[in-house]
Amino acid sequence: MRIFCSWRALVRAGTVALLTSCAWAGAATGAQAASVTAAPGWEVSPLVYPSHLTPGQRAFIVLAIYNVGKAGSTGPVTVTDTLPAGMTATEAGYFDEPYIQSGLPEGNQWNCSLGNVVTCTSTSEGALPSIPPGQMEWLAIAVHVPAGASGTALNHAIVSGGGALGPASVSDEVSFSSAPSEFGFQRADSWFSSPDGTLDTQAGSHPYSLTTSLVLNNTGDNPVSEPRSITVALPRGLVGNPTSIPRCTSAQLNDHACPADTQVGVDRAALSGPSGFSFAENETPSIEEFGRDFMIAPEFPVYNMVPPPGTPAQLGFSFNGLTTSINTKVRSGSDYGISAVINNILQSQITFNTLTVWGVPADSSHNFQRDGTNGEGGGIEFHVPSHIAPVPFLTLPTACEGPQTFSASTEAWANEGITAPPSEFSFLSHENWRFCSSRG
């Protein structure tokens, strides 16, 4: 597990989870997922700092690049970002240490050409030799916003190569304004993936993983307001089986002693945005000068917890002894789907959060991200194998419906006695896929 130890990472990170209920998940085993060829695959989630791009000023477009497949990437990964008309990139890249080879010095992970179209290729022989399964890497683009920019425009990003079966792309609307943005979501996305790195669209299947990402509106440095609670309503028919996986107790989580076999995924939170906190006032640092502190984004193991009475299921993780609990509830009086709820999120300047839940937690491809005790005494161990059978934790809706709809709502903490209005955001499942396909 990689945890960035900058001082801002010593505050509490909240999270958003896509958790399912304790409904029966079928009698199949992990063999279903194992029957699909393992390969890397891509998804990309853009973040904009600040959320309203100020005409005539500098801004950042940051791409969170996910390997959603069961295999690590091989060879160069290419990212092409077509900026809105009139916008020009002044710098692009990311400086960090190789994720899969800890101990090597940090370096530039991307070689980029600049302009209105930015093309970057990973330094496969240098600081980014491979992106492991389930991992996320950053690519930052510094841009100059034209003085006459107004309204909205589209930014388009494509990720390809690295051994993936196909590219992934996303088009996001960006806003130009000198006025500050309001509290709420800048964007939201979610997807289910297959072991071969493609999206899982098979009704009733056990996906390789389920990922959701939420981006909050920000001022460039910090969120507009800090979220106090977040609720995510999951598509009807999405179910899970937390009884199939061992559970960690609250006492174990507080002591950083959850067994590795209770881990069901990972959470990653960006604590504030790119900021010159370690530079002189009015100094504008480059992406290279920021180095690994450009995005303070620790990763946490997420565990299947013993739920409190009246709660169908609970996930949780701990950072420096502080716990985040993600509880589930059934939506009564509507479609009887499942919602995941987090209350009283500690204030920690979160601008972005992504959570991945594994479809079959015991799958050996997750060992790279698996952390916990081994049941034989001693403390937490990293990159450990599972000792339980590879049984499913997640099952997709069995009916041929689509597109699937998610919704997220959030309420803010009061700031100087003023509480921002609540915000709600509905979005379709990624690329509007629907659960109707079948595999031979």
| pLDDT tens for the 440 residues of the chain, in order | 333 333 222 222 333 333 333 333 333 344 444 455 899 999 999 999 999 999 999 999 999 999 999 999 999 999 999 999 999 999 999 887 655 445 555 678 899 999 999 999 998 776 788 899 999 999 999 999 999 999 999 999 999 999 999 999 999 999 999 998 999 999 989 999 999 999 998 889 999 999 999 999 999 888 999 899 999 988 888 888 999 999 999 999 988 899 999 999 999 988 877 764 555 556 677 888 787 778 888 889 999 999 999 999 999 998 767 889 999 998 887 778 889 999 888 888 889 999 999 999 999 999 989 988 766 555 678 888 999 999 999 998 887 766 677 888 999 888 877 777 778 777 666 654 445 554 43
Q: What is the pLDDT of residue 9?
A: 28
Runs of H (alpha helix) within 105-233:
none
- In one-letter notation, the amino acid at residue 67 is N
Q: What is the pLDDT of residue 13?
A: 31
Q: What is the pLDDT of residue 203?
A: 86
Q: What is the pLDDT of residue 2?
A: 31
Angle at 1 between CA 95 and CA 254, to 5 degrees: 130
Per residue, what are the HEC states of 396-408?
A: CCCCCCCCCEEEE
Rounded Cα distance, 83 and 110, in Å = 18
Q: What is the pLDDT of residue 95?
A: 82
Rounded Cα distance, 398 and 226, in Å = 37
Rounded Cα distance, 312 and 24, in Å = 12
Q: Centre a 10 Å sphere on the Cβ of residue 23 and count the other Cβ atoms it contains.
A: 17
pTM of the model: 0.86
